[in-house]
A and B are shown apart, each in its own frame.
Chain A
Amino acid sequence: MKTLSGGEIAAQERLQSCLHQLKHFLPAQSPLKDFIHHNTLHAFQHLPFHEALSEATSLFGYKVYLSLHDYREAYLKGHIDEQALNFALSSTSNPDLWRQKLLHAHYNQVELPRIGQLKAVWLSKYRINFDKEVHPFLFRLLSSYLDQGISIWNFPGSKKGFFKAVQELEKNSHSSLFETARARKLLLNDTSMAELLGLVVGHDWHEQYLFDQQFAHPGWSGMISVLEDHPEKLLDQRKICLEDFIRLELLMEINFLDKKFGSNWKPLSELIDKIPQPLFSDTGKQNEKHQVLSLWQDAMEWSFYRQVIAGIKSKPQVKEIASPLPSFQAIFCIDDRECSLRRYIEQLDPQASTYGTPGFFNVACYYQPAHSSHFTKICPAPMEPRHLIKELEAKKKHKTDRHLGKSTYGLFGGLLISQTLGFASAFRLLINIFKPVSSPAMVSSFRHMDPKGKLTVHTVDPNHKVHGLQVGYTYEEMAQIVEGQLRSIGLCGPFGELVYVVGHGASSVNNTHYAGYDCGACSGRPGSVNARAICQMANTKEVRETLLKRGIDLANTVFVPGLHDTTRDEIQWYDTDVLNAGQLEQHRAHLRLFEKALHLNARERSRRFVLMDHKGSPEKIHADVKLRSVSLFEPRPELNHATNAVCIIGRRELSRHLFLDRRSFMNSYDYRQDPEGNYLYGILKAAAPVCGGINLEYYFSRTDQYRLGAGTKLPHNVMGLIGVANGLDGDLRPGLPTQMVEVHDPLRLLILVEQKKELIQSVIQRDESTYEWFKNQWVHLVAVEPETLEMYHFKEGKFTPLEVPDISLPEFDTVHELISMETENLPVASLKS
């Protein structure tokens, strides 16, 4: 190897840091099976929200707000109210002037983002378009290499890394990847990225060219970047790195240029007449259109926030009496989809109390289902669990379906099957259209775990490790988990006879993004294993003894786990054999109540499903709602997190009187139990990135369905089981499909915390990455002073008092009265009962 000069070393270092930066900006979406919500614009999170959005727009051309027309229409319809608009305008120097601009100005100039300007020189000078000439085959090669199981004939020799595998394919073949000799030679000689850039681009502009080149197909590049750092995200692992991919792309560009022009072409930097804008130049300058849009966005957000704030403030003053023993207690996930179910349960049994917490229930572990050799993580994605729970003695959970198998693609297999099974498929389609039933193609949350199987919750031997993981927990670890869970939600007694712990999951068919419908706190899996595990822990004698010493008395209580299927509105219960006769009788009574609550919940959800028949009893509507999860033709089995906008961290009393239209994450927290703020720290550390991530992914997928969202799912084509693309030759489409976000109003999350503002301030500053969310207002934080309900908004690093809006909320006797009104978002309302 030749020695490098100082200049070359510096250049190489620059390239490496450029690659690093590039990876930071690329979409960070995992393969489909591990779909996890995150802030789409995470790379800009170090900047204040509106500033970051302005930068993202001028750099990448993203559309980060609704259109001016949409805002104006919302204003005319009253969805953006006058006071909120004034509130937003009050931040400007001349509110009247800006008001005119907001309402009447036109901004129709055509602006090009900074990305892509350099690459455009190819088109203007040489009339060549690499998107058309290079991308399709490059994508196909890459997708075949990464493919997890669609192709029947796999990429030969794929174990040694992408570049090596391609080299071998090229070397040992009668045919070539390229049409020209030079590209072939450069490939076989292992030419470095810097040298190839020198050939294609010339001396300068390397960094900018890499950005331009990779952001012409951010989907695939982002996927490579994720897999480079986390190869374990594929079951059938592949070695790949972005640099190798870029080398191959450069080689294909050289090949194409050679093919088209022979040796008569010059590198790009010698073709430039007009110097393109550097990518990372004049940051922070916002143009007027952007400012107008950001003001509209603030106005729209505060139109809703003000209702919530007024609602919390209007909490009826109930004198705190020593509460009687609750009829039962139920712990649900923080998820916004549980918001309404909890409301119905409380409404049907006012003596019951419900709690919310991240749905992994403090049991952070990997899970290994019976009959599988793979582990799957069932706790929030950033956590690194050290435990494993195995499933034993379970039945097989899945059936096979020849229509989805590979035998139909062969010549003779196809010949036989098309003339036999082919006719069955017409019949199946007929049945599925007119009477949909469950099929092997379906994803059901209940199949995550066999109710009759056993879980290794208790460890037999703490020193026995599988892949470095401890199988099961010791009694001390269990006691810590249970105590931590109960104290963080302020549930320390007295306990009713039954405490339910209900995780959640979803069911759907024909849904490539199924993982995004399950519990986000369980890394996109249903929460049944976690619920069962914590209940088994809390029901263990040794654990109870330890907890008693720490002031938590569970002697007369049994924990019962369950799983709420949010699509079908069904709950499956587990381990009810631990109940004694009396408890079982109580449990049966509660089941009837849950059943009723689920019917009502399904009916409330159904108001958004326009094509459904909304007449009839809740039972009938519920039956129709269930069909959505098994209907092939239903692109919206449920609406998932759409419309989420609030996260309330505090006691249930704070919002129990409110109708929040399933828009609220709810984490129970009792400020009285947490004078140090330690539990709050844990909650916020999870809530900001998890709920905030969900919220912002919905936000950006909604505002730009082409570049940040995945667009309509109807034409999607599954690539290698890892992502979706449009058609055959397209780039991967990260983000959420239109069908998930179309009813979502892009509002940032409003996090309300019931705690003293000084304590909150100190808590959020403990962790820099969490603090970024609040400091830069990627979520809005409002402190609700306990008792007085004074509210403070966190702005520019400190809490400033919020005026209580002068809004009187509509009052309703029953929810049904309210929800039968319309399919749009409903205002926050207070409920009399």
Chain B
Amino acid sequence: MENSIFIHVFLLSTVLGFVLSLVMPAKEERALSAIAFTTAGFNLFGFLIFWFFWAWQGFPTLNIKEVELYHTPGYSFLIDFFFDRITATYYLVGSLLTFLITVYSRYYLHREQGYKRFFNTIQLFYMGYVITIFSGNFETLFLGWETLGISSFMLIAFYRDRYLPVKNAVKVFSIYRIGDVGILLAMWASHHLWHENITFIKLSNFDLVHEHLESHSGTGIFISLMILVAAAAKSAQLPFSSWLPRAMEGPTPSSAIFYGSLSVHFGVFLLLRTFPFWEHQFSVRILIAAVGLSTSIVTVLIARTQSSVKSQIAYASVSQIGLIFIEVAAGLHTLALIHFAGNAFLRSYQLLVSPSVVSYLIRDQFYHFQPKHDSLEDNLPRKWENTIYLLSLKEWKLDKLLSKWLFTPMKRIGHQLDFINKRNMYWFFIPFLVITLFTLEHEQALPQSVHDFLVLLYGAIALLFVLKSFSERKSPTLAWTLILFYHTLMAVAISFNEHFDPKDTMLYLSGVIPAGLIGFACLKWLQSKEPDWFTLQRYHGHSYEHPRLSFLFFLTVLGLMGFPITASFIGEDLVFSHIHEDQYLLAFFNASCFIISGISLVRIYARLFLGPHVKTYHELPYQSS
């Protein structure tokens, strides 16, 4: 009981801190930073007190069953919290670093435009961080996970009036989302495996896990693989590694806390958290270790060739995380936790002092100059040395690889629907919707095979719409409407799948539809104000002249993508629970839609509101900055 009070207070304090900093006026620099370091400091010292209390009880693993947010027969959406030594380590390291870096940033960011935005985002991040590490089940974890993704986008795009930060923010966000497919599918499969929202505490019950996996070993492997995808994306393991150095676009302290230390270790956290689940799947353990090992080797080579200090630190950090993956897979969890903490501290400090390398290394060179220093690779045959050097310089083409195998095909499929444009779109949508509703009305008359086919068809069309939206180059309105339409379609498709409960559908659409409509109005308004500067072909930077609209539109983006600010977030989970265990394809369609629509929406937002301002009557950055 007392334990849960502590946990509640910790969680609430981060929420409170975020809300307070949100309402604080932008000119109150001191108050804004004070809220941030007080929040982190409170949690830090609170934890130290709690630690004694917890130690006195003998470090028990705690599970705090929280509220049931939604309940229907066979389904409940549960918020659940959990506390063990993994949480404790992450909590201590995270709170300490957040505390130090918010104090640091109080001076470092002084007079910076966006001072408030910075502290808001740090607070949002910290809140997401705490929710994630305290989470007791996948649903709660996903809540925090999504928050981390968005705050990460906002910090990379902190300098929103330049091209590269915005471009890279969209890119990193996309890769994060791709990783989230893993979590979504893992959640879906585990619904079916356990027939409930499995809590992490139950996962550590060996007999229970063993019993379920006995009969569903395929599902078990599937879940583990999905977890690995999510973890690899978040921790920049192969093949996702190239996003990490590109994320270093924000102010140095934010790069230090996010990409140097905390955010990038979340993959490790996910693995540690789910370890009891895949502990006995030997092949999965081998696979995780293999991913870690190959990442370590490749990224350490890349790190050795980097000529910029931040990317060098980033790749060096990733290579250590690769080793941590191996440690986790080997079951050496104490070592992994120590390694995590040390790596996090070291890399954030290195990033913070990174501007000092100029004077330090130049001085070093001035006094101990050697014209040519030998490196390990000189022992290789020349041709091989050159080959590996060139490959490492090209980051083993990882960046190109992702776009070639992932984003380009997605766009290519989307372009198949190029015959739809903003003028004729309603001619497609409305008749289609009418037919759908008509079919739905006469659902009972349909044979089962047609039924199954229709479900898949609607899922596929929804995905096509989303891909079209993602690849749309011209009309923001069209891209937006397609997403709105996908949600409607998906709701219909699921209604076909199971017995229709209008309440569930309403729940799903309750957040999406209003957000979609308000966002649509925002777009129309912007179009009327800026008719010449309203396409998706380039970045427009409209937040420069329309900051309020930009903020409102961003909220609707969050709403429409099912971010946990509306009930649609629960609806999304509910929809998943209605997809049957054997409907892999439908689950895949739905997860992909969910993920790609998020990317597409953020892209619309970035293209319209971020980037260098199209109007050139004020100072403008180069494209190459």
Contacts and interface: CB of A to CB of B under 8 A. Distances in A.
Interface of A: 32-33, 61, 63, 67, 107-113, 129, 131-132, 135, 137, 140-141, 143-144, 146-156, 168-169, 172-177, 216-219, 235-236, 369, 371-374, 376, 396, 398, 400-401, 403-404, 408-411, 414-415, 417-423, 425-426, 428-430, 433-434, 440-443, 509-512, 514, 610-611, 631-636, 703-707, 711-721, 725-731, 733, 739, 742
Interface in B108-139: 108-112
A510 B356 contact: yes
Looking at chain A's contact residues, the main secondary structure is: loop
A711 B615 CA distance: 19
Contacts of B385: 156
A825 to B, nearest CB: 16
Contacts of B449: none
B622 A151 contact: no
Contacts of B108: 633-635, 714
B55 to A, nearest CB: 20
A350 B300 CA distance: 65
Contact of A144 (B303, B382, B393, B617): B393
B606 to A, nearest CB: 14
17 contacts: A110-B615, A131-B624, A143-B308, A403-B349, A418-B347, A422-B345, A433-B100, A510-B355, A510-B356, A511-B359, A514-B358, A706-B620, A707-B620, A715-B252, A717-B308, A726-B159, A727-B165
Contacts of B615: 108, 110
A703 B323 CA distance: 48
A526 to B, nearest CB: 13
A235 B358 CA distance: 13
Interface string B180-203: 000000000000000000000000
Contacts of A442: 356, 359
Nearest to A634: B107
B16 to A, nearest CB: 24
Interface string B311-349: 111011001100100000000000000110111111111
A422 B342 contact: yes
A67 B620 CA distance: 13
Nearest to B349: A425
B440 interface: no
A429 B100 contact: yes
Given A511-B355, A633-B107, A425 B617 contact: no
Contact of B308 (A428, A434, A634, A718): A718
Interface in B211-265: 245-246, 248-253, 255
Interface stretch (B360-368, B478-486, B510-518): B360-368
Given A140-B393, A156-B385, A422-B343, A429 B619 contact: no
A154 B251 CA distance: 28
Given A426-B100, A514-B358, 8 more contacts: A112-B616, A113-B616, A137-B393, A396-B367, A418-B346, A510-B356, A713-B355, A727-B246
A731 B110 CA distance: 25
A419 B307 contact: no
B167 A132 contact: yes
B365 A235 contact: yes
B345 A426 contact: yes
A718 B312 CA distance: 11
B406 interface: no
Nearest to A417: B346
- The 5 tightest CB contacts between A and B, nearest first, are A422-B342, A425-B349, A422-B346, A441-B356, A714-B251
B375 interface: yes
Contacts of B366: 235, 369, 372, 374, 376
Contacts, number: 346
A158 to B, nearest CB: 9
A417 to B, nearest CB: 7
A325 B443 CA distance: 111
B309 A153 contact: no
B625 A433 contact: no
Contact of A726 (B112, B249, B307, B345): B249
B373 interface: yes
A414 B162 contact: no
A727 B248 contact: yes
Nearest to A420: B342
Interface in B408-434: none
A25 to B, nearest CB: 15
B346 A152 contact: no
Nearest to B624: A731
A129 B167 CA distance: 13
A414 to B, nearest CB: 5
Contacts of A173: 383, 386-387, 390
Nearest to B367: A372
A110 B617 contact: yes
A173 B159 CA distance: 39
B617 A111 contact: yes
Contacts of B362: 32-33, 148-149, 235, 721
A715 B249 contact: yes
Contacts of A721: 357-358, 361-362, 365
A148 B361 contact: yes
Residue from A63, A147, A152 whose CB has the most chain B CB atoms within 10 Å: A152
Contact of A712 (B112, B255, B352, B384): B112
A300 B173 CA distance: 46
